[in-house]
Structures are given as C-alpha cells and as structure tokens.
Amino acid sequence: MSSRRPAEPHYSGRPTGALARSPSERLEPTRPVARQRRQRFSRDHSPSRPFVRFLSGMFTLLLLVMLVTAGSAFWLQSRIEAPGPLARSKPVVIPKGESTHEIAARLERDGVVSGRHLFIAGYLLSKASSWMEGGRSVQLRAGDYLIPQAASVRQVVDIIAEGKTISYKVTIPEGLTSEQIVERLKADTGLAGEVAEIPLEGSLLPETFVIQRGASRQSIIDKMQAEARKLAEKMWDQRKKDLPLKTWEEAVVLASIVEKETGRNDERERVAAVFINRLRQKMRLQSDPTIVYGISGGKAVWNRPILRSEIAQKTPHNTYQIDGLPPTPICNPGKAAIEAVLNPADTKDLYFVADGAGGHIFSETLKNHNANVQKWRAVEKEMRAKAAPAPSPGDTPTTAQPKTRAVVRTPPDKGKAPPQPSPSQGSVPGAEGGDKGWTSTTQPTPKTTK
C-alpha cells in the first residue's frame, strides 16, 4: 500500500459551467459557487428614516421646552415669594366689581406689588395649584385689607382671595329711636347701601357689631332685629311671674322708659320697680321722656325745658294724659334695661328724685319724697350759685337761672284736686301767667354704652 496521503482537493476559482481558458485550468476541480449575500438596503434609502428623525426632533424639542419651563417656573416662583415693596403695613380697599387686571393695576399704584403682571401671574399660579390639588376655587374678593410690611405677591393673593378683611366695629348706643339709628348708620362712611324702611320702635337691640368694612346698612338693621328676637325668646320665660306685663312688647315699652330715665347700672332695677309698683296701683307713670316722644316722634333732640302747654298736650305717648303704658316704645332699650323690667328690685318705692351726684333717691311715701325734693332744691340752688359768673365791678349782681331737665308732672287745674305727683317730682306750685317752662327735680344722667 502506498503511504501517500491523498491530496487535498483544490478548488479553483473558476465557477461551475465556465469554459476553461487553458489545459491546466481544465485539470482544476470546479469550486462551488459562493452564496451571494443579501444586499442590505442602504440606510439612506430606508423609508422609515424621516419619521424616526421627526420623533427624535420632537423629543429633543420637548426636553428643551421642559427645561425652559422648569427654569421659568423656578424664577417666577422666586419672584412671587420674594418680599414686596411695602415699607410699612398699609390698608387697601378693593371695590366691588373690579376685574383682576383692575385690581392688579390698583395694587401696583398703591405700591403693594412691584408690577401688575407679576401679581396676575401669581394669582393664576395660585388658581392652578388649587385646582391641581382639588381645593376650592381661588377668587379675588372685594373689601378692606391690611397688607403687612414687605408682603410678597403670594401673601397678597392669599389675603385678598381668602377675604381676610379689616374688622370694622359699628356701635349703636342704647336709648336711640329707630329713626336716630338709621340716621347714624347713614352718616357712617364705612357702610354701604340704603335702609329699606324705618324699623318699628323698640324692634332693634343696641349692640356693638364687628363687620367687614363696606357692609350694607340694611344688614346691620337685620342683625339688630335678629338679636332682639333672640333676646325675647331667652329672657321672657325668665321674668318674675307676678309682673303687670302681659307680653314681651309691653316689657320693651316699659324698658324704653327706664332706659330714658336713667343710665346708671346700679339703679335700673330700682327705677323699674317704681314704674312696676305704679302700674300695680293704677297710678299714671308721669314720665317726661314720654312727653318728648309724643311731640317729636323720635326725630328731635330735646334740649330745652318742657312747657306747661306741652305737659297738658294730649298725645298717645304722654303718660301724664294716659293711663298705663304708651302704645309703643319711646326708644330702643338695651339689654340691661329690659332685664331690669323683667326682674325689678323688690321694693315698694313709688318716687325718686335726683341726689345731685348723678343718681337718684327713692321713696315709698309722698311725705318722704317731698323731704327729698327739698334737699334736692338746696343742692340745685348751690349748683346755680356756683355756675353764676362773677359780677364785674359796677355790675348789679344777678342770680343765674340755668336750664335744667323738664318737669315731669302736670300742674293742677284750678278747682280740681291735684294729680298724683310723678315718681321723680314732688309737690311743686303751679306756674302762673304764660306758657313757662317748668324745671324738674331730676337731673340728666349720662347714658352708658357698651
């Protein structure tokens, strides 16, 4: 056997089926035809390439916009949170009906914000944040606001949107008539609107109300009437059961008289007891404030003595001419006067007279009352002497005759028995001659307010 290794096949580069170009080429074995590779499409000719490039551009643009937006938001947020230009706290009034642009312009003029556009941007940003968080809608509200020193736009927006207005107090003193209360509200420039009509006398409870500046005048009237109704529901059932008063309305009528007779807290119950005792004994109340109301109807401010003809004038409210209570209150009494009427002092007093020190002396009998009247007249004489101006050299000395509070009793008619003296008046001789003013033995007491 031959040890020769068989020769490895040699493949020529000639493809199968091609004619040999020489004898030596014929001896070469035929080489298999190489598999042709699939021709790849050129990237430049791919039909999806424009769409991919579009998406890539969009993503790039979106990323750029996001970066710019984030940067702008950060810058805007820093401007909104930055301290404002106010050097000190300042009140600002936002009228009703102004638009956002008008409010922004007003704040810019007042120096509250550095620019109106910045305020609008801060307002819109607050609205968007509240909406995204599911909170209540942010709206700018009219009113009076106190903007603190160096308040940021964010703080200003929050103050106005939340309605944190300046508190405003309206005080209505006790003892005013309904017409006087309405006139007082009309003169208050911190209020707005008109009062529909003059309320019924005695239907308003004087109080101090804390409201928003610019509140309507009618709303104050409504609150006073509502407070009066609440007081009636609360206090009527707590009254003494033996009172000669059938209804709450009668209690308010008598309380209005007590309110006008005294303003001292320490003697209201006793003054009320005098009138309660007189009602029980069928005596006329004979209170001079009822004369004034019967003549003026609550419009006039009385600053002169009552004339004898006015005492004798028959009006529905003149308690010198009518029995019992007047048909309506003569003012709007306060809570203290109503409490005094519903729970008067446990006394038998029927009279009272001024003591010269701002209060009154009370008596059960006419004899004691007349003695107290004489004491008061001595005090009154001394007060007149002190009030008299010093005479100049060569002048004839005169006695000063200052006006005092008006009389509270009817002078007796000739040939008739004198009437019962009033609770605040002793037996005084009738004036003679013409229509002269009588002076009272009581003195005016300053009213107290809440």
Task: Give yes or no for a contact between 325 and 297, defined as CB atoms under 8 angstroms apart.
Answer: no
Judgement on whether residues 151 and 175 belong to the same structural domain of the protein: no
pLDDT for residue 39? 54
Judged by DSSP in three states, 253 sits in helix
Q: Please write the tens of the pLDDT for every residue from 419-444.
A: 455 666 543 333 323 333 333 333 33
In a domain, 269, yes or no: yes
Kindly report which listed range (117-126, 235-244, 253-262, 392-401) carries the lowest average pLDDT score: 392-401
pLDDT at site 392: 57
pLDDT of residue 301: 75
Q: Which of 161, 182, 211 is the last residue of a domain?
A: 161
Give 368-398 pLDDT, tens digit per residue.
999 998 988 888 888 878 876 665 555 444 3
Domain boundary pick from 140, 161, 182: 161
Assess whether 201 and 141 both reside in one domain.
Answer: no
In a domain, 358, yes or no: yes
Two structure tokens written together for 378: 């001595």
Q: Are 153 and 106 in a shared domain?
A: yes
pLDDT score recorded for residue 12: 52
Give burial (CB, 10 Å; 0-12/13-18/19+) of 401: exposed
252 assigned to some structural domain: yes
Residues 363 and 307 occupy one common structural domain = yes
CA diameter of the chain: 190
Is residue 70 domain-resident?
no
Q: Is residue 132 part of a domain?
A: yes
Among 98, 133, 129, which Cα is nearest to 116's? Answer: 98
Q: How many angstroms from the chain centroid is the CA of residue 287? A: 36
Same domain for 133 and 198, yes or no, is no
Distance of CA 93 to CAs 16, 160, 164, 168, 193, Å? 104, 10, 12, 13, 17
CB 120 within 8 A of CB 99: no
Span 311-345, pLDDT tens digits: 999 999 999 999 999 999 999 999 999 999 999 99
β-pair partners for 171: 208
Taking residues 28-34, what's their average pLDDT? Answer: 59
Higher local confidence (pLDDT), 206 or 48 = 206
DSSP string, 387-443: HSPPPPTTPPP-------PBP-SPPPPTTSPPPPPPTT----PPP-SSSPBPBPSS-
210 or 394: whose pLDDT is higher? 210
pLDDT in tens, 265-314: 999 999 999 999 999 999 999 998 999 999 988 886 777 778 889 999 99
Encode burial over 1-40: b for 16+ CB neighbours within 10 A, e otherwise.
eeeeeeeeeeeeebeeeeeeeeeeeeeeeeeeeeeeeeee
Q: Which domain holds residue 123?
A: 79-161
pLDDT score of 447 more than 50: no
Q: Is 306 domain-assigned?
A: yes
Same domain assignment for residues 170 and 124? no
| Predicted TM-score of the model (pTM) | 0.64
Q: Which residue among 108, 131, 161 closes a domain?
A: 161
Q: Please state, as a whole number, how many other Cβ atoms lie within 10 Å of the Cβ of residue 282.
A: 9
What does 282-345 look like in DSSP terms, one character per residue?
Answer: T-----HHHHHHHHHTT-S---SPPBHHHHS---TT-TTTSSSS-SS-SS---HHHHHHHHS--
pLDDT digits (tens, 9 = 90+) for 83-127: 989 999 888 888 888 999 999 999 999 999 988 988 888 888 888
* CATH label of the domain that carries residue 89: 3.30.1490.480
Taking only the tens place, the pLDDT of each residue in 51-80 is 777 777 788 888 778 777 777 667 767 788
Q: Is residue 231 part of a domain?
A: yes
Phi, psi of 316 (to 5 degrees): -60, -20
pLDDT of 16 above 60:
no
Same domain, 202 and 231: yes
CA distance linking residue 144 with residue 154, whole number of Å: 18
If asked whether residues 98 and 233 sit together in one domain, one would say no
pLDDT-derived band at 15 (thresholds 50, 70, 90) equals: low
Does residue 174 sit in the same domain as residue 105? no
Are 226 and 305 within one domain?
Answer: yes
Checking if the pLDDT of 186 tops 90, the result is yes
pLDDT higher than threshold 60 for residue 262: yes
**What's the pLDDT score for residue 432?**
29
- Per-residue pLDDT for 189 more than 60? yes
Lowest mean pLDDT, pick from 31-35, 189-193, 250-254: 31-35
Write the burial class of residue 191 (CB in 10 Å: 0-12 exposed, 13-18 middle, 19+ buried).
Answer: buried
310 and 355 share one domain? yes
pLDDT for position 229: 96
CA distance 166 to 146: 6
The number of domains in the chain is 2
In this structure, are 273 and 311 located in the same domain?
yes
Does residue 13 form part of some domain? no
Averaged confidence pLDDT in the chain = 79
